[in-house]
Amino acid sequence: MATSNDLLIKQRTVIEFLSAEGCSAANIHARMKTVYGEMCISDCAVRKWVRIFKGEDPGEILPDRKRLGRPLSASAKAHREKVDCMIRANRRVKQKEIANAVGISKERVHHIVTTVLGYRKVSVRWVPRQLTVEMKAQRKDMCAQLLERYNAEGEAFLQHILTGDESWVHHYDPELTRNT
């Protein structure tokens, strides 16, 4: 069921439409009375709105309906680019720092970082969720090198490969906060 405010907006829209067609205020009120019955606005109000819509009365205009949430301007391209640059410069940057630097909310920063840019947190660092072009090229080059060595050395090359079950390899990256 429509609220009284929605009903008023609908009636004003009907008045705007019929006055644009050239109907008189009395005719509009009579037609609206048959449709809306007791809920119809008064004849005086119809005349007032006809004058407003014809530009004869610089009174009020139809208000926009209130919308929930923040405007989407916070996710604008300029903000996305600035957030991406900050993450690429410092993978350990915090959402709060980004929000303060860019001037948008932490929630918008989180949305841009995770949904729009496709990053996720791994060991206190932001990392891309998908492989970048450089990462794909690096993996392709490494596979090509391994294939060349196999073609050159044959089965002897495979005998020199250690699997994870046979050997433990310790890797330390000073940018990480933990050892892997």
Exposed e or buried b for every residue in 5-27, given b needs 16+ CB within 10 A?
eeeeeebbebbbebbeeebebee
Task: Note the helical H segments in the chain.
Answer: 4-21, 25-36, 43-53, 77-89, 95-102, 106-111, 133-153, 155-159
Whether 4-53 and 74-128 share one fold: the answer is yes
Domain boundaries, the chain: 4-53, 74-128, 131-180
Taking the domain 4-53, which CATH number applies? 1.10.10
Beta bridge pairs of residue 120: 127
pLDDT average, residue stretch 139-159: 89
Give the tens place of pLDDT for each residue, 2-44.
677 888 888 889 998 898 888 898 999 999 999 988 889 999 9
State pLDDT tens for residues 50-109.
888 887 755 555 556 666 665 556 667 888 889 999 988 988 889 899 999 988 888 888
pLDDT digit string, tens, across residues 112-138: 888 888 888 776 777 776 677 888 889
Dihedral Cα 47, 51, 52, 57, nearest 10 deg: -120
How far, CA to CA in Å, does 113 sit from each of 87, 95, 131, 135?
A: 9, 9, 16, 20
Mention every residue, 6+ apart, whose C-beta is less than 8 A from residue 178. Answer: 123
Whole-structure pTM value: 0.37
Overall fold of domain 74-128:
Arc Repressor Mutant, subunit A (1.10.10)
Question: For residue 115, what are its two tokens?
Answer: 């949904």
